[in-house]
């Protein structure tokens, strides 16, 4: 590497948009924060860091960016493995001496293939990047005092991000954390203070924890009060966090959080059918009725938000339709901020059970597992399920009912909510379920234009345009644009996939 200049570090959150848009999605909350935490481990005196989040910034298509780095660090959800491989190929082509690093869920689920593709594979938390920095450069390039590089997140629309715990104390069968089996731990007060200091003044704070509540009451209360101290000092106007269903069994929890500035809570209701929840091993949500939880939160001026998972392998269209209709006719219940199919994420108990039970459809790619298309056999005919799914995910044919419900819900709770909460309650569902405008730079919009139509069915979907190289590439890069196939033409796991995850702890035994 040239002497006399800072080392150039590119950190990328790789992302395949399930709607096949290459344009930015800048209004989605929360943003991916792993790149900014990783950036804090590089010493600013010796290193220049750039972050590219393909969800927030849109697809990375610029040759000048691929030519720039000395080190390229990739992270992302498991389904984005193919995308990380493509981006690494571009970097290697235009900057042959670049060192490539992969971490996060991808590396933990697919260690063998990551070892083959990337120079460094990190299966731990973000702290492991420190060892990689020392291996590539020397200890002087590793920051002595690490803090997230929130300065690189601008513009952030006034939202700050904070992590106070890692992992989760529950083991939902469909969750990647269950497959990884790592212990639930809380950050120290010093770590949280450092993050808050790095954040600076913000309009609102989103706590990124997978489970803010956890299984240690003393640390929970301490974290709530610490955030409350900053709220009372005026650093931000309010904050929100994700909690599991057991949080609501103690009403004093809501009171404590409200007294310390909490304005919003997200909890994974997931499904209104208790039998479906039991198959997900989601015992903590069996009593998570969105109506009662919304009312309980509203008493303390806290807005309630939740996600829903539909499972056509266990539910009929009529059963799913009844759940959606139940919500639409009740203005006291918010619409879900997340509506998804069950995803058999690689490495999870749910995936292993789906594979053993022959529920996976044929010719499924890893990149198909995005929650927006069928990858498991439904209990009803495909010709009826697929059209219904297409309409359901974007509320086609019921946009008026969606708009009416959003406005009525915000109006109903206006006396319990502050004006910002009321505006968000009215606008959020409209943003989520109306079509994405797809506005990006010209190259991103042209890339979106080239995409084949989404069929909502993994067996019939055509490869997205990203699998065709943007630039003329030497023949030895061709393998980097071949998708990782999970199942073959008969629905069995492919040899390619089984080899890719060698070294990962199997949950099938």
- When mean pLDDT is compared across 100-109, 276-285, 365-374, the lowest value belongs to 276-285
pLDDT higher than 70, residue 508: no
162: β partners: 207
Q: CA triplet 13, 481, 178: central angle to 5 degrees?
A: 50
pLDDT higher than 90, residue 180: no
For each of the domains in the chain, give its residue range(s) and CATH number, in order of start: 7-141 (3.40.50.280), 158-305 (3.20.20.70)
pLDDT at 286: 59
Overall average pLDDT of the 295-309 stretch:
94
pLDDT-derived band at 379, boundaries 50, 70, 90: very high
pLDDT at 448: 95
**Is there a contact between 302 and 257 (Cβ–Cβ < 8 Å)?**
yes
Say how far apart CA 303 and CA 88 lie, in whole Å: 41
Q: Of residues 335 and 436, which shows the higher confidence score?
A: 335
Enclosing H/E stretch for 177: helix 176-180
Looking at the chain, the number of H-run helices and the number of E-run strands are 19, 13
Ranked by mean pLDDT, the top range of 25-34, 96-105, 266-275 is: 96-105
User: What are the residues whose beta carbons fall under 8 Å from the beta carbon of 166, sequence distance 6 or more?
Assistant: 125, 182, 184, 185, 187, 209, 210
pLDDT-derived band at 509, boundaries 50, 70, 90: very low
Peptide bond into 30 cis (omega under 30): yes
**Is there a contact between 227 and 257 (Cβ–Cβ < 8 Å)?**
no
Say how far apart CA 471 and CA 464 lie, in whole Å: 16
pLDDT-derived band at 134, boundaries 50, 70, 90: very high
Query: Tokens 């030497």 — which residue?
Result: 474
DSSP structure string for 274-319: HHHHHHTT-GGGTT--HHHHHHHHHTTT-EEEEEEEE-TTT--HHH
Q: Of residues 119 and 286, which shows the higher confidence score?
A: 119
Overall average pLDDT of the 80-92 stretch:
98
Nearest CA to 371 out of 76, 81, 30, 79 is that of 79
Q: Using one digit for the tens of pLDDT, what is the confidence trace for 396-436?
A: 999 999 999 999 999 999 999 999 999 999 998 888 888 77
Q: What is the strand order of the sheet 99-103 is part of?
A: 47-53, 7-13, 71-75, 99-103, 120-122
User: What are the residues whose beta carbons fall under 8 Å from the beta carbon of 381, sequence distance 6 or more?
Assistant: none
Query: Tokens 């035994």 — which residue?
Result: 509
pTM above 0.75, yes or no: yes
- Count of CA atoms in the C-beta half-sphere (13 A) of 66: 18
Say how far apart CA 249 and CA 258 lie, in whole Å: 16
- Across the chain, mean pLDDT equals 93
CA distances from 301 to 76, 203, 261, 266, 356 (A): 34, 17, 10, 14, 46
303: β partners: 264
Count Cβ atoms within 10 A of the Cβ of residue 33 and give its class: 0-12 exposed, 13-18 middle, 19 or more buried.
Answer: buried
pLDDT higher than 80, residue 2: no
Q: Using one digit for the tens of pLDDT, what is the confidence trace for 21-52?
A: 999 988 888 899 999 999 999 999 999 999 99
pLDDT at 285: 63
pLDDT higher than 80, residue 287: no
Q: Using one digit for the tens of pLDDT, what is the confidence trace for 313-325?
A: 999 999 999 999 9
**Is there a contact between 40 and 163 (Cβ–Cβ < 8 Å)?**
no
| Pair type for strands 47-53 and 338-341 | unpaired
Q: Taking the CB of residue 190, how many other CB atoms lie within 10 A of it?
A: 8
Secondary structure of 135-156 as H, E, C letters: HHCCHHHECCCCCCCHHHHCCC
pLDDT at 293: 93
- Tell me 167's DSSP state: S
**Is there a contact between 156 and 126 (Cβ–Cβ < 8 Å)?**
no
pLDDT at 268: 81
Query: Tokens 């690494």 — which residue?
Result: 88
Q: Is the dihedral of CA 430, 13, 214, 344 positive or negative?
A: positive
**And the tokens for 27?**
């209004």
Say how far apart CA 104 and CA 33 lie, in whole Å: 12
> What is the rounded (10 degree) CA torsion for 87, 91, 94, 96?
-140
Overall average pLDDT of the 460-476 stretch:
96
Q: Which residues of 111-148 are buried (b: 16+ CB within 10 A; e: fewer)?
A: bebbeebbbbbbbeebebbbebbeebbeeebbbeebbb
Q: Using one digit for the tens of pLDDT, what is the confidence trace for 491-504?
A: 999 999 999 988 64
- When mean pLDDT is compared across 47-56, 87-96, 390-399, 489-498, the lowest value belongs to 390-399
Say how far apart CA 13 and CA 11 lie, in whole Å: 7
pLDDT at 182: 87
| Pair type for strands 185-186 and 165-166 | antiparallel
CA distances from 65 to 43, 52, 146, 154 (A): 21, 10, 25, 19
């Amino acid at each position: 590497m040239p002497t006399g200049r800072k080392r150039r570090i590119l950190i990328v959150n790789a992302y395949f948009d399930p709607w096949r848009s290459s344009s930015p999605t800048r209004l989605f909350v929360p943003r991916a924060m792993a790149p900014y935490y990783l950036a804090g481990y590089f010493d600013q005196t010796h290193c220049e860091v750039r972050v590219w989040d393909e969800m927030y910034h849109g697809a990375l298509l610029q040759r000048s960016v691929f030519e720039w780095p000395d080190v390229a660090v990739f992270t992302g959800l498991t389904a984005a493995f193919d995308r990380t491989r493509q981006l690494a190929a571009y970097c290697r082509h235009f900057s042959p001496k670049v060192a490539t690093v992969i971490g996060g869920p991808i590396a933990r689920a697919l260690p063998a293939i990551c070892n083959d593709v990337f120079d460094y594979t990190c299966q731990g938390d973000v702290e492991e990047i420190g060892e990689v920095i020392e291996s590539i450069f020397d200890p002087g390039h590793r920051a002595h005092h690490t803090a997230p590089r929130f300065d690189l997140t601008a513009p952030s629309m006034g939202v700050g991000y904070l992590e106070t715990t890692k992992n989760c104390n529950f083991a939902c069968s469909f969750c990647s954390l269950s497959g990884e089996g790592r212990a639930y731990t809380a950050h120290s007060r010093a770590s949280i203070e450092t993050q808050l200091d790095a954040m600076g003044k913000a309009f609102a704070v989103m706590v990124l924890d997978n489970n803010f509540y956890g299984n240690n009451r003393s640390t929970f209360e301490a974290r709530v009060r610490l955030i409350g101290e900053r709220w009372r000092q005026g650093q931000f106007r309010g904050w929100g966090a994700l909690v599991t269903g057991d949080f609501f069994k103690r009403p004093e929890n809501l009171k404590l959080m409200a007294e310390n500035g909490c304005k919003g809570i997200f909890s994974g209701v997931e499904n209104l059918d208790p039998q479906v929840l039991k198959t997900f091993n989601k015992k903590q949500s069996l009593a998570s009725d969105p109506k009662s939880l919304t009312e309980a939160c509203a008493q303390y001026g806290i807005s309630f938000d939740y996600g829903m998972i539909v499972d056509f392998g266990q539910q009929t269209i009529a059963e799913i339709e009844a759940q959606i209709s139940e919500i639409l006719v009740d203005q006291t219940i918010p619409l879900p901020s997340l509506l998804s199919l069950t995803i058999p994420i690689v490495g999870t108990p749910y995936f292993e059970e789906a594979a053993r039970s022959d529920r996976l459809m044929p010719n499924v790619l890893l990149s198909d597992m995005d929650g927006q298309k069928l990858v498991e056999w439904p209990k009803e005919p495909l010709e009826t399920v697929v059209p219904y799914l297409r309409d359901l995910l974007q509320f086609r044919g019921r946009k008026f009912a969606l708009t009416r419900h959003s406005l009525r819900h915000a109006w109903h709770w206006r006396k319990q909510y502050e004006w910002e909460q009321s505006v968000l309650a009215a606008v959020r569902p409209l943003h989520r379920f109306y079509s994405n405008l797809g506005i990006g730079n010209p190259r991103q919009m042209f890339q979106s234009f080239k995409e084949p139509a989404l069929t909502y069915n993994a067996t019939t979907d055509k490869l997205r345009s990203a699998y065709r190289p943007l630039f003329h590439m030497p023949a030895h890069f061709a393998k980097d644009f071949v998708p990782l196939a999970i199942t073959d033409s008969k629905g069995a796991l492919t040899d390619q996939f089984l080899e890719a995850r060698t070294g990962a702890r199997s949950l099938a035994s």
